[in-house]
Chain A
Amino acid sequence: MSEMTSIKTGKRPEEVSRSPSEWIRQNLFSNIPNTILTIIFGIFTLYAIRGILGFVLSGERRWEAVATNMRLLMAQGYPANQFVRVWFTLGCLMVLTGLSLAIWSGKGRLSVKKISNWVMSTGLGLAVFAALAPISASSRLGWVIAGALLIAGGLGLWQRAKNKTTETLHTIPTVPFSFGFLGILVLSLWVVPFGHYAFTNGELVAETGRTVAMSTKLPFTVMWLLLVGTYCLTNLVRESLPIAQAKACLVGLWLLSPFILNWIVLRDPDFDYGHIVSTDIPLAALFIFVGGGILFMLAKPSLGEIGRLTAIALLIFGVFNWVAAFFGWYPMLQKVRISFVLLALAALIAPNFAADRKTRLKFVTGWAILILISHWLITAVNSPSTLELQGPTYLGGFSLTLFVAILTLLLSFPLGVLLALGRTSSMPIARVLCTGYIESIRGVPLITILFFFSNILPLFLPQGMEIAELAAIVTGYTLFSAAYLAENVRGGLQSVMRGQYEAADAIGLTTSQRTGFIVLPQALRVSIPPLVGQAIGVFKETSLVAIIGAYDILRIANNVVPAQTEFLGVKREGLLLVSVIYFIVAFSMSKYSQRLEERVGLGER
């Protein structure tokens, strides 16, 4: 990406500076029809806000149902005595975020004017709230004063910023500002009496006048400290770090984190150490050394056609193992089957690393890392969990929603790109296979696919083979969303001019180099808007897992909480919360995509 950003040199013209009153006059009351429209829609908006406030603050609302069930909504039945794992996971992500912010040196700056606008809008919002909400006169006065103070503060800030000329004075760095904002949110947990709700041994505890439980505010404070602490520490030593390597390392960690955090930290596999020492470690070593040796040989520049033939023979052998498994001809560890296929794929791409000894050694090192990680993960996935659960899966609620969405996106993106390349390739077999796959998946509703993977597939599996519910869900989603992603990417591929291909051929690039360096970067850049649309779609469609009995956040709010004896029929509160959460996540994704588009200059060139 760095090459692309450097293209953008010139700054965009500064926006014309206008005071709030000028802005209002020019945008809302510029002429008579505009004024009429402003008034009509102003009344309409106020009416709607009043309705929503009346709904939220009505005495009929039982928000304690949501507060008491917050843990259920977030993590379903994750055992209380193991909950530290959830926080550990979040902590790891915080550390990674802090590291990334420092390493990529978030140099973004927020203009003070923008901040003053936010402050003023918040104040205005509070004033509107105070005017419309059905609350007592004294608290109304309090809210009005708070709103007025905010508006005055925002105006003061704006006046001060207007008089500053240099950029350092009328902007502040984004990162510390966000940290401060998050810090205020965390601090509010300690100060503001949000209420303390708990459910212990079938008893409901609701104390409205207190701040939230220690088990909520303490972990969140630790999370904030981790984020800020990592950022500050890394910033201190940043100068002495090899930045390029650190970036590569971080990208790897981010890609691995969903898998490791889920299968190792959250699921806590109960490793059978005897088996690991006797079988797993020797197997991994065998593949690393023997496989690595083979790959080292195959990457020899002088090898020629024999290398290709060997790779194809390996591929046929790798695929044959699966056919044999289906008919039960000979036993073989699943892990070995997977490793053979990986070896065959690595062998196929070995010629790309046919260079001096150093490059080939790097290639073999990459292979060793791949085998280590994949063997470790396969072992972890297949070990039983130590969690003692009463629910169907170890994840539920919002964590299930996130788990399915993140894994699906991570896995379906490469698959989708491959499918798109296959569909546009000139090889008839690849084209027919990919087109057939895409069309048949797109012709089937997602619900059908989920049903198939959770209910029908177990009937076809060979004896002794089981597919875990979560694996079934993620597999089904991945296959489904890959087909749609493929079409989005294909749209991008078609926007790449014929001349680009020809130019790449003319300078003697191989097909993979042409695809990787010339075609795909341009195609993916164009595909950003539909790809992000698809990502948001995937995130929201995760609620369909309820169809096959998993408890995602929507199902808990819609079906589980209203079915509890204590909160019978209390549904709207939870649904409102869930829609707010969905909105925040989807809106953040959309905002991020806008920034990404800006960064790669989409729509400008």
Chain B
Amino acid sequence: MTQKSKLIKLLAVLFAFTLVTAACGGDDSDDGSASSSDEVTLTAEGGSLLETVQERGTLNCGVSGAAVAFSTLDPQGNMVGFDADYCRAVAAAVLGDADAVNFVSLTAAERFTAVQSGDIDVLMRNTTWTQSRDTDVGMDFGPTTYYDGQQLMGKAADGFSGSSTVADLDGATICTNAGTTTEKNIGDAAEAAGITINLQTYEDFDIVTDNFKSGACDVVTTDGSALVGRKAEQQPDGEEWVIFPGAPISKEPLGPTYGQNDSQWADVVNWTVYATIIADEKGINSGNASGVVGNDAFDAEAQRLMGGEGELQTLMGLSADAFQNVISQVGNYDEIYSRNLNPVGLSRSGSSNAGWTDGGLIYAPPAR
């Protein structure tokens, strides 16, 4: 008996050891050599990420996972939202399959490290394009997919209206979430307007909204997109919440982000975004994208983009019908926008995110 129980104890210890080592090296055991495999190719070491992604067969896309309407998990556990759809668009362009995305959920603190360590290929995590991130942090930014900006929200009963300005906030209690640039922006704006405000910060915006509802905060401030969502979902009956000023107090252009100095990969991501915008301009949507080539109703540029005569996609390292896949599997810019942002009350018309012909900023270079 003692011998046997000793044996069992022994096996247990050895077994635990195996698993620790196996977990540490969950890696190359089945490919024969440790050093010759090229599973992870960092952009800095030459070669484009494009080939790596195509070889791997899935796109590792960094998202937030808890950003209302941009990337959230639905009750079935699917990643949904505006950013998530742009991940799918890139996967459709590169791999021909919008579902070949491995979503990596990242916190604000680790998002750039994840790009640098090669954990993710592209970052779609409502990341604002700033000078320091573009230069100092070592990121490259793609075309802006959503023009956001910091705004304020007050109650109509307190005398606020859509035409209120920062100057009307004198003496008000303003709440926002801690540790973000919103805190600094509102402080700067108040100083510029020469008023004194009482700024209170909370851990997250759910608490901020609760305090606003209960009256502990007169005004709340954060990115306009978040305020609109809160107003649409949480404004009680018989109360009127207003968002102001019309021109946001900060600029927050959000778009895809990737590691720097990989031109080929940058082109692929950028032109995927442009393709959705051009498709919107040309009236191509997920319903008719497959029938564009050879259809005289569409012009030469549209046909080229969808993989017709003289297409340019193969020169980028993609298949000819790459962007046709994007539009038919994910949709054009307007479809992506409407699907995700309309339900929280963000409408395109009249905002910066309208097409350039409608007075907005969404613009793409020509595909020729």
Closest Cβ–Cβ distance, residue B364 to chain A (whole Å): 28
Q: Check if A568 sits within 8 Å of B229, measured CB to CB.
A: yes
Across-interface contacts of B73 in A (CB, < 8 A): 72, 76-77, 391, 551, 556, 560, 564
- A77/B76 contact (C-beta < 8 A), A325-B34, A455-B113, A465-B27 known: yes
Across-interface contacts of B17 in A (CB, < 8 A): 341-342, 345, 414
Across-interface contacts of A370 in B (CB, < 8 A): 11, 14-15, 18
B157 within 8 A of A: no
Closest Cβ–Cβ distance, residue A230 to chain B (whole Å): 23
Across-interface contacts of B25 in A (CB, < 8 A): 334, 337-338, 465
B66 within 8 A of A: yes
Give the number of residue pairs across the A-B interface with Cβ within 8 Å: 243
Q: Check if A381 sits within 8 Å of B3, measured CB to CB.
A: no
Q: Check if A462 sits within 8 Å of B34, measured CB to CB.
A: yes
CB-contacts of B1-37 with A (<8 A): 1, 3-37
Interface centre among A69, A392, A456, A568 (most CB of B within 10 A): A568
Bound CA–CA A250/B62 (angstroms): 43
Partner of B209, one of A68, A363, A569: A569
The digit string for A545-586, where 1 denotes a CB below 8 A from any CB of B, is 001111100011001101111001101000000000000000
CB-contacts of A341-397 with B (<8 A): 341-342, 345-346, 349, 352-353, 359, 362-363, 366, 369-370, 373-374, 377-379, 381-383, 388, 390-392, 396
Q: Check if B206 sits within 8 Å of A562, measured CB to CB.
A: yes
Across-interface contacts of B39 in A (CB, < 8 A): 463-464, 466
A199 within 8 A of B: yes
CB-contacts of B99-120 with A (<8 A): 99, 101-107, 110, 113-114, 116-119
The digit string for B62-77, where 1 denotes a CB below 8 A from any CB of A, is 0001111100111111
Closest Cβ–Cβ distance, residue B226 to chain A (whole Å): 10
Q: Check if B103 sits within 8 Å of A466, measured CB to CB.
A: no
Partner of A328, one of B8, B31, B35, B77: B35
> How many residues of chain A have a CB within 8 Å of chain B?
97
Closest Cβ–Cβ distance, residue B260 to chain A (whole Å): 17
Partner of B27, one of A383, A467, A550: A467
What residue in chain B is nearest A363 (Cβ atoms)?
A: B7
Closest Cβ–Cβ distance, residue A492 to chain B (whole Å): 17
9-residue interface stretch from A88-96, A136-144, A220-228, A468-476: A468-476
Q: Check if B101 sits within 8 Å of A259, measured CB to CB.
A: no
A507 within 8 A of B: no
Partner of A463, one of B22, B32, B40, B105: B40
Bound CA–CA A391/B84 (angstroms): 11
How many of chain B's residues touch chain A, expressed as a range? 35 or more
Bound CA–CA A382/B22 (angstroms): 9
B347 within 8 A of A: no
Closest Cβ–Cβ distance, residue B22 to chain A (whole Å): 5
Closest Cβ–Cβ distance, residue A487 to chain B (whole Å): 19
Bound CA–CA A392/B234 (angstroms): 30
Q: Check if A392 sits within 8 Å of B35, measured CB to CB.
A: no
By DSSP majority rule, is chain B's interface helix, strand, loop, or mixed? mixed
Bound CA–CA A342/B78 (angstroms): 42
Q: Check if B66 sits within 8 Å of A560, measured CB to CB.
A: yes
Partner of A345, one of B5, B12, B14, B74: B14
Q: Check if B14 sits within 8 Å of A381, measured CB to CB.
A: no
B233 within 8 A of A: yes
Across-interface contacts of B31 in A (CB, < 8 A): 464
Q: Check if B6 sits within 8 Å of A352, measured CB to CB.
A: yes
A529 within 8 A of B: no
- A565/B69 contact (C-beta < 8 A), A390-B101, A466-B27 known: yes
- A390/B21 contact (C-beta < 8 A), A76-B73, A346-B14 known: no
Q: Check if B72 sits within 8 Å of A560, measured CB to CB.
A: yes
Closest Cβ–Cβ distance, residue B2 to chain A (whole Å): 8
Across-interface contacts of A411 in B (CB, < 8 A): 16, 19-20
B239 within 8 A of A: no
Closest Cβ–Cβ distance, residue B43 to chain A (whole Å): 13
B79 within 8 A of A: yes
Across-interface contacts of A388 in B (CB, < 8 A): 99
Across-interface contacts of A334 in B (CB, < 8 A): 25, 27-29, 34
Interface centre among B16, B18, B65 (most CB of A within 10 A): B18
B230 within 8 A of A: yes
A435 within 8 A of B: no
Closest Cβ–Cβ distance, residue B274 to chain A (whole Å): 26
CB-contacts of A432-467 with B (<8 A): 451, 454-456, 458-459, 461-467
A603 within 8 A of B: no
What residue in chain B is nearest A564 (Cβ atoms)?
A: B72
Partner of B37, one of A275, A463, A568, A571: A463
Q: Check if B36 sits within 8 Å of A464, measured CB to CB.
A: yes
- A568/B12 contact (C-beta < 8 A), A72-B76, A560-B66 known: no
Closest Cβ–Cβ distance, residue B7 to chain A (whole Å): 5
Bound CA–CA A352/B21 (angstroms): 25
- A374/B66 contact (C-beta < 8 A), A455-B110, A549-B110 known: no
Bound CA–CA A199/B120 (angstroms): 30
- A366/B102 contact (C-beta < 8 A), A69-B75, A463-B38, A563-B68 known: no
The digit string for B126-154, where 1 denotes a CB below 8 A from any CB of A, is 00000000000000000000000000000
What residue in chain A is nearest B20 (Cβ atoms)?
A: A411
B343 within 8 A of A: yes
- A366/B72 contact (C-beta < 8 A), A272-B30, A381-B22, A391-B103 known: no
Bound CA–CA A72/B38 (angstroms): 35
What residue in chain A is nearest B118 (Cβ atoms)?
A: A458
Across-interface contacts of B37 in A (CB, < 8 A): 463-464
Q: Check if A463 sits within 8 Å of B106, measured CB to CB.
A: no
What residue in chain B is nearest A366 (Cβ atoms)?
A: B7
Across-interface contacts of A381 in B (CB, < 8 A): 22-23, 26
Q: Check if B12 sits within 8 Å of A77, measured CB to CB.
A: no
A308 within 8 A of B: no
Q: Check if A333 sits within 8 Å of B27, measured CB to CB.
A: no
A516 within 8 A of B: yes
Across-interface contacts of B35 in A (CB, < 8 A): 328, 331, 462-464
A237 within 8 A of B: no
A40 within 8 A of B: no
A484 within 8 A of B: no
Q: Check if B66 sits within 8 Å of A377, measured CB to CB.
A: no
Partner of B32, one of A200, A333, A455, A548: A333
Q: Check if A382 sits within 8 Å of B27, measured CB to CB.
A: yes
Across-interface contacts of A565 in B (CB, < 8 A): 68-69, 72, 229, 233, 343-344
The digit string for A531-549, where 1 denotes a CB below 8 A from any CB of B, is 0000000000000000111
Bound CA–CA A562/B207 (angstroms): 11
Q: Check if A414 sits within 8 Å of B79, measured CB to CB.
A: no
Q: Check if B105 sits within 8 Å of A459, measured CB to CB.
A: no
Q: Check if A560 sits within 8 Å of B65, measured CB to CB.
A: yes
What residue in chain A is nearest B21 (Cβ atoms)?
A: A338
A332 within 8 A of B: yes
- Excluding A337-B25, A467-B27, A556-B73, 18 further A-B contacts by CB distance (< 8 Å) are A71-B77, A72-B76, A77-B76, A334-B25, A334-B28, A366-B7, A366-B11, A370-B18, A418-B13, A463-B35, A464-B27, A464-B38, A466-B27, A475-B20, A475-B24, A549-B110, A559-B204, A565-B233
5 nearest A-B pairs in the assembled complex, by CB-CB distance:
A77-B77, A464-B37, A331-B33, A334-B29, A568-B233
Question: Can you spell out 26 A-B residue pairs with CB atoms less than 8 angstroms apart?
Answer: A72-B77, A77-B73, A200-B76, A331-B35, A332-B34, A333-B32, A334-B34, A338-B21, A338-B22, A342-B17, A345-B17, A366-B7, A378-B18, A381-B22, A382-B26, A382-B30, A462-B35, A463-B35, A464-B27, A464-B37, A467-B24, A471-B23, A475-B23, A555-B66, A564-B74, A569-B206
